[in-house]
Structure 1
Amino acid sequence: MKKIYLLLLLAISAQLTFAQGIIWETDIETAFKKAKAANKLVFVECYLPTCPVCQSFEPILKSASVGSFYNKNFINFKLNGEKAEQVKFLNAKNIYLPNFPMFLFFDANGNLVHQAESGEAKEESVINVGKTVTDPEKRAVNYKKRYEAGERDLNFLIAYGFYSRVIRDTTTNLTIANAVYDSFPKNELNSPTSWAITKKIVQDLDNGFAQYWFEHISTAGQYEASGGHPDGEKNALGVILQTSLYSPRGQNYSSAKLNTIKGYMNKLGFGQYAEGATWQLESKALIKEGQSEKAFVIVNNFANKLLNNGAALVYLGSFVLDNTTDKTYLSYADKYLAQAKPLLKDNGQLAEYYYQSAKLQQRKGDATLARKELTEAKKYATLSKTDLKKFNELEAQLK
């Protein structure tokens, strides 16, 4: 009888083991150690506890069929996007997650070899993602090779554009996103598919999808509302604005283009942030375009809003010194630094103030006063344990 009970217990145990879902490791380091020992890839499901889509996948990831496939082929880890300690892993790998959930696959040495969206919350869909990864030729790490070999299927280009965004390869992303636009049927630009592609891969204002949707914001809003994300279009287009403005490309925008961008910000309801986001770029553009007087109207208007912020006024002084080549506008730097000085208490801020003051006196042609100011700058820099490199470089110029 005992033997029968034992056999029954073993049978039940085997059934439960077979029926379980994905087995998750408790920490990422253990996952990679086990992967190396077992010669497997590491599957990382990136999720947010508050994400409804992520929650919809929980029953799928606990299913027997998904568990059987993933436990056989991968070592698995769940990464909570709200836990800073776990997100450190992604930051160390220079990985950006535009949305959740996201499926990431790494080799045992921690190299990302594939990235994919989860697709539909269905067992078959999740298993198909895993099956793709088991074929080395289909992994995202090989997209570049496939593209260079001439592959131009639209779905492939979208996947490549998304992957390049996740790994923060902006140069590739811009190229591929433009290729997607070139391949996309222009009579379908107003479609939900067009909007979905824009949210997924576009990071540049000059991309054709971006230009279209900034002129059709209300339609994008309808698609977002129907998908249960009212005002989601503002966030998506706002990200494109932000990534464009604060990119190397943004440094070369013309004043006309920056005015267009301010118009977009107003359309999105972000008009109150337009001045703060664009004043430097617009001022630089106007100076390059030979319209310095207009540039300093903008700078001075911005300065008038910062009269109680000493550090910001010092920065404005440095902006004048760094972006002009003659003495015509040095009076602005003089004014901003004079306004800043009584507001500064921190040693690091005082070091920067005296450093900019030394540069100002150098520009005015008073090397003696410049050296005196620089001596004060180095004193406060030493007190604040600030790197002295730039202070020493200026000192060498003043000898």
Structure 2
Amino acid sequence: MKRALFFIVFLILSNTISAQVVFEPSLKEAFKKAKEQNKIVFIEYYNSDCPVCKRLGDLLKNDSLVANYYNKNFINYAMNTNGSLAEDDNAFISEANLHFESVPVLLYFDASKKFIHHSGVNVESEHLINEGKKAKNPDFRTSSLKAKYEKGDRTVKTLYAYCDLLLVNKNETLLKKVSQELFESFKKEELPTKKSYIILKQVVTSTENGFFQYWINNLDNLKDFETGYKAGTEKSYLEKIVLKELNDKTIKSWDASKKDKFKDYILKLKITDNPEVYFE
């Protein structure tokens, strides 16, 4: 009877453990195991106060499909950005030249600590497993995008993904170039669509970019793309780009033509009814 009871308890505990992703206690331990087992390291980059992160955490703790896949294929580690990263974690992310403005993010590194893949999060088991499969396939990793671009791949899918990587790497110069190539490859009949808006929102950082120019001249159509608490915020992404460039230290030396152009942006976006304040 005791043995039967023990076996039942053992099964319950085993099922509980297998239903959640097992995380290593430290980054050092994660990469030590990755080398020993020849596995990729998966990092859950999150903030414990973030609502989406909490949903992701629940999924990682309660979804047996995700748990089984990640425990079998990866060594897992969680980085909580709440307050500030631990010293070793912060140094690691800095050395990898990764800069994230939002969380959560899925990160993948090979056993030698080389960055190979990243993704934003759709809190669904299928998404997490698909991103894991991409990380395991050299042809689909984020790190393969530079080579694809340099070989001449100018598909919208590749250019958009490469822009996202350049944004994460804070390579502003190349980002401007690639995001303009993205505009040039984009079907012009799709410019009024949500697909165009998403590109503007996610990877455009310059007023010179074609997506910015399209939407600044079609503000009446820049609506109804966001829902819920973000409803009506569509123009804020244009404002963000304009305000960033208005923060230029050389603004007082801009020529009259450039100043007039930005005054027009300011008035169109209703940032202020007195644009001169930015040039005084």
- Which category of TM-score, normalised to the shorter sequence, fits these structures? 0.7 to 0.9
Instruction: Output aligned runs, 1:123-138, within 5 Å.
Output: 123-138=125-140
2:10 equivalent to 1:10: yes
Residue pair 1:203, 1:244 contacting (<8 A) in 2 also: no
Q: Which residue of 1 is the match for residue 225 of structure 2? A: 223
Residue 123 of structure 1, CA deviation: 1.0
Distance 1:221 1:51, change over 3 A: farther
Paired AA for residue 141 in structure 2: R
Alignment of 1:61-210 (within 5 A): 61-62=60-61, 63-86=63-86, 88-89=90-91, 90-118=93-121, 120-210=122-212
Q: Distance in 2 between matches of 1:92 and 1:39?
A: 22
Q: Is the 8 A contact 1:164 1:173 kept in 2?
A: yes
C-alpha distance after superposition, 1:50-79 (max 9, x if no partner): 444334433332211111111222222333
How many Å apart are 1:181 and its aligned residue?
0.7
CA distance in 1, matches of 2:180, 2:224: 25
Partner of 2:233: 232
Structure 1 segment 339-354 matched on structure 2, within 5 A: none
1:250 to partner: Cα distance? 7.5
- C-alpha separation in 2, matches of 1:253 and 1:149: 37
SS at match of 1:104: strand
Q: Show the counterpart of 1:42.
A: 41
Q: Report the alpha carbon displacement of residue 252 of structure 1 after superposing the two structures with TM.
A: 8.4
Letter in 2 for 1:25: E
Closer, same or farther: CA 261–56 of 1 in aligned 2, 3 Å: farther
Match of 1:58 in 2: 57
Compare CA radii of gyration and give the structure with the larger one.
1
TM-score normalised by L of structure 2: 0.83
Amino acid at match of 1:54: C
Q: Distance in 1 between matches of 2:60 and 2:252?
A: 45
TM-score, structure 1 normalization: 0.61
Aligned residues: 276
What's the offset of the Cα at 1:146?
1.1
Q: In the alignment, is the contact (CA less than 8 A) between 2:49 and 2:82 conserved in 1?
A: no
- Given that residues 46 and 79 in structure 2 are in contact (C-alpha distance below 8 angstroms), is that contact kept between their aligned partners in structure 1? yes
CA distance in 2, matches of 1:220, 1:33: 50
1:115 and 1:205 mapped to 2: Cα distance? 27
TM-superposed CA distance for 1:132, in Å, is 0.5
- Which structure has more RCO (C-alpha within 8 Å, separation ≥ 6)? 2
The RMSD of aligned alpha carbons is 3.0
Q: Deviations over 1:258-285 (max 9, x none)?
A: 3322332344343389566x53xxxxxx
Structure-to-structure mapping, 1:295-314, within 5 angstroms: 298=280
Q: Does 76-85 or 136-145 show the bigger shift?
A: 76-85
CA contact (8 A) 1:114 1:140 kept: yes
Distance change in 2, residues 1:275/1:78 (3 Å):
farther
Q: Pick which of 265-274 and 182-191 moved more.
A: 265-274
1:68-102 C-alpha deviation (Å, 9 max, x unpaired): 11122222233333322348343454322243322
Q: 2:127 corresponds to which letter in structure 1?
A: S
Question: Counterparts of 2:251 and 2:151 in 1: how far apart (Å)?
Answer: 32
Amino acid paired to 1:199 = K
Give the CA deviation at 1:243. 4.4
